[in-house]
Amino acid sequence: MTVKKIMIPTIVMYVLYIGVLLLFRFVPNSAANLKTALSNIPEATGQRADNLWAYYLINRENPLSADFTVGLDYVQGDFMLDERCAEYARRMIADAAADGVQLTVVSAYRSIQKQQENLDNYIQRLMREGHNSKEARRLAEKEIALPYTSEHNAGLALDILTPDWWERHDDITAEFEFTPQFAWLSENAHKYGFIMRYPREYQDVTGIVYEPWHYRFVGVYYAEKIKESGLPLEYFYKTNF
């Protein structure tokens, strides 16, 4: 009996020892995994990954730096985007036109000063409509991002409407989702690297109201993956970087 009592613990300890050795031998530690992923983003996310420079979050928690600058190129009329994605937008607009759908850009790159001006003007409008200053600011910031937190400030976002929109509307509204333009964009925008950035069902995640007219460039690979996932960029980015 005494021999068995000694041998069983010894065998168990030996097995545990071998198990620990195997664990360290074949399972890389988390720090090594993170280092590998960050240094090999294309391999980690798929061989078709493109325009990785555009794959980042811009929101209240992830503002642009105070010294951010961007090279710009024209997309339509006087509207411009980051010069690295402007051609994608021009091609999207041209291909839509070839399909009989006219995409009208009503906003693209905005300077920080213009962003602040838009926000201030909207707050004043809401106050004229009867909201107090605190409530007006809260409501305004759900529709117009703070300076440095808007994708327009980075030159990565387009607001798109119909050519006759302003003949029928006084403001940009979610009614855009009932237009041929929205239908075409829903079917094709990802092919050019653009996603509808602020879905209706994830307003609590993005912090921005549903904007079926707002399209953000992330590159073709990620636009396709985000469309497939059905997730907003905030969720998708956390699990795919």
Evaluated on CA atoms 54, 179, 161, 119, the torsion sign reads: negative
In the chain, the number of structural domains is 2
Read off the pLDDT of each residue in 205-228 and give the average, rounded to a whole number.
95
- Looking up residue 70, the CATH number of its domain turns out to be 3.30.1380.10
Question: Domain check: are 180 and 201 in the same one?
Answer: yes
The tens digit of pLDDT for each residue in 46-90 reads 557 899 999 999 999 999 999 999 999 999 999 999 999 999 999
Q: Place 239 in a pLDDT band, splitting at 50, 70 and 90.
A: confident
> 95-103 contacts: CB < 8 A, separation 24 or more?
95/188, 95/192, 96/181, 96/184, 96/185, 96/188, 99/184, 101/180, 101/181, 101/184, 102/162, 102/163, 102/181, 103/76, 103/160, 103/181, 103/184, 103/185
pLDDT greater than 60 at residue 29: no
Residue 9 pLDDT grade (very low, low, confident, very high; cuts 50, 70, 90): low
What pLDDT does 33 receive? 39
Query: Terminus-to-terminus CA distance in the chain, angstroms?
Result: 58
As a whole number, mean pLDDT of residues 27-49 equals 42
CB 8: neighbour CB atoms within 10 A?
A: 10
Is the torsion defined by CA of 210, 203, 56, 48 positive or negative? negative
Whether residue 57 is contained in a domain is answered as: yes
Q: How far apart are CA 46 and CA 11, in angstroms?
A: 46
Residue type, 11: I
Write down the residue that tokens 């399972």 correspond to.
27
Answer yes or no: do 83 and 179 share one domain. Answer: yes
Q: Which domain holds residue 9?
A: 1-39
Report how far residue 160's alpha carbon sits from residue 92's, in angstroms, rounded to the nearest whole number: 12
Nearest to 188 by CA among 95, 111, 51: 95
Tell whether the model's pLDDT for residue 226 goes beyond 90: yes
Q: Are residues 187 and 233 in the same domain?
A: yes
Residue 138 to residue 18: CA distance in whole angstroms: 60
Same domain assignment for residues 60 and 30: no
DSSP annotation of 59: B
At residue 211, the pLDDT reads: 96
CA–CA distances in Å: residue 156 to residues 24, 79, 99, 107: 44, 12, 24, 11
Average pLDDT over residues 91-100: 98
Q: For the segment 150-201, what is each residue's pLDDT rounded down to a tens digit?
A: 999 999 999 999 999 999 999 999 999 999 999 999 999 999 999 999 999 9
